């Protein structure tokens, strides 16, 4: 695997010297990682880990962008502003259903694995790109490392839940951001499987710490005080009753404090078709923002309301109360700590959570997601693992 040349034994060569030479050959051999990413949150996570890989001797990373997020403001801008290495390959697979998307990604990633022959494949999170990459590698007996392993919403109606469960099962290195994630894997019997479960902390915390000084304001038209809101999940946007209930709650809350909503293109189209966008007051729609702009919004908002998984954690990083516009969350430690309340798509529950956070001081426990060095721990674990096999 490491390209170690055979060392011939002669009368003048001691066994100890042979072992030393062999060790040196392994230490200086280049180990190749093929990283598969495709969605905006994965770009942020990859930015942190790719920096750690680049700083590690004898590691080479090949980045494959599946194209799952392809809009200029949802994809390219992230590579530009976060200084993520330009992907070696862009598969440009998007705008098709889950089955077709995953199947096409699986086919193309398998071709790249056969061509590049990496020592390990790394995937992030819970997207179709994640599952396709892991499955392609597993079938070729290439070790798989899964960053953000062990997360569970316990809602099998979510495509992400299916993706993360299946990816965990075929991964060799399971990098867990929290103790809850490790507990989930142990309950599912992973301690009996041929894999390594490692608590690393959260790479998104690494990214938030690193990029915070570079935060930029997205537009001059942001109110002095505001609530940051994002809505994009199909469970909300594709069900008119849920979408209306959420915006009814936002409209009520906006009478008290303005709402700033960076609007996903898909959600904007749905709102326009429903006519909801014309009846809303004190809700400031802005275009999708880059990560540095999102950090600025997080730093300056009063509260967060979102159906995003990543933004729930980022609200915690910046000590902002969060109302999750979903019926479940993977980040159970946040709800347990009282810094995140589930509002679902229930108008009254959302307003109740808003009044709770507005009327009380929220205390944020420390280091729920590690110490900001998850990327280094992941990289070291990969090196140790590859040297051991």
| pLDDT attached to residue 81 | 78
The single residue of 69, 146, 232, 341 carrying the catalytic annotation is 232
C-alpha distance from residue 71 to each of 94, 235, 265, 385 (Å): 10, 21, 9, 36
Closest by CA position to 208, among listed 314, 65, 367, 101: 314
Question: Domains in the chain and their CATH numbers?
Answer: 15-202+371-388 (3.40.50.2000), 214-358 (3.40.50.2000)
Closest C-alpha to 109, from 85, 86, 140: 140
CA distance 330 to 328: 7
pLDDT the model gives residue 28? 52
Q: 164-222, pLDDT tens digit by residue? A: 999 999 999 999 999 999 999 999 999 999 999 999 999 999 999 999 999 999 988 89
Low-confidence ranges of the chain (pLDDT < 50): 1-15, 17-26
Residue 25: CB atoms within 10 Å: 14
Beta bridge partners of 121: 34, 144
Is-catalytic flag, 65? no
Q: What is the pLDDT of residue 176?
A: 98
**pTM, 2 dp:** 0.86
Question: In angstroms, rounded to a whole number, what is the distance separating the alpha carbons of residues 35 and 50?
Answer: 9
Contact 232, 238 (CB under 8 A): no
What integer pLDDT is reported at residue 6 of this predicted model? Answer: 32
Query: Phi and psi for 234 in degrees, rounded to 5?
Result: -60, -35
Enumerate the β-bridge partners of residue 33: 61, 120
Q: What confidence score (pLDDT) does residue 279 get?
A: 64
């Amino acid at each position: 695997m490491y390209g170690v040349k055979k060392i011939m034994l002669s009368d003048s060569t001691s066994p100890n010297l042979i072992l030393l030479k062999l060790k040196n050959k392994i230490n200086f051999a280049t180990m190749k990682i093929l990283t598969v990413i495709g969605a905006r949150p994965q770009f942020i996570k990859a930015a942190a880990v790719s920096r750690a890989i680049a700083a590690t001797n004898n590691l080479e990373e090949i980045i494959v962008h599946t194209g799952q997020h392809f809009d200029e403001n949802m994809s390219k801008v992230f590579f530009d502003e976060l200084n993520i290495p330009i992907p070696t390959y862009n598969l440009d697979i998007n705008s098709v259903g889950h089955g077709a998307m995953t199947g096409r990604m699986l086919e193309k990633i398998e071709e790249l694995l056969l061509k590049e022959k990496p020592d390990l494949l790394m995937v992030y999170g819970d997207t179709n790109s994640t599952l396709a990459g892991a499955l392609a590698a597993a079938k070729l007996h290439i070790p798989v490392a899964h960053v953000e392993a062990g997360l569970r919403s316990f809602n099998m109606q979510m495509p992400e839940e299916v993706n993360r469960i299946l990816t965990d099962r075929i991964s060799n290195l399971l990098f867990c951001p929290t103790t809850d994630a490790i507990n989930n894997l142990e309950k599912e019997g992973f301690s009996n499987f041929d894999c390594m479960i490692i608590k690393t902390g959260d790479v998104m915390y690494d990214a938030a710490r690193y990029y915070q000084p570079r935060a930029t304001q997205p537009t001059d038209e942001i109110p002095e005080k505001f609530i940051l809101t994002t809505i994009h999940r199909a469970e909300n946007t594709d069900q008119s009753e849920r979408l209306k209930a959420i915006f009814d709650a936002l409209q009520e809350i906006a009478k008290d404090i303005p709402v700033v909503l960076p609007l996903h293109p898909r959600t904007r189209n749905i709102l326009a078709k429903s006519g909801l966008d014309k009846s809303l007051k004190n809700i400031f729609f802005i275009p999708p923002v880059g990560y540095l702009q999102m950090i600025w919004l997080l730093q300056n908002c009063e509260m967060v309301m979102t159906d995003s998984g990543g933004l729930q954690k980022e609200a915690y990083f910046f000590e902002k109360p969060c109302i999750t516009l979903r019926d479940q969350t993977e980040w159970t430690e946040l709800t347990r700590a009282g810094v995140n309340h589930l509002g679902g798509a229930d108008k009254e529950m959302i307003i109740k959570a808003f009044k709770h956070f507005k009327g009380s001081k929220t205390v944020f426990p420390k280091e729920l997601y590690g110490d900001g060095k998850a990327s280094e721990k992941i990289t070291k674990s990969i090196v140790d693992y590859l040297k051991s096999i």
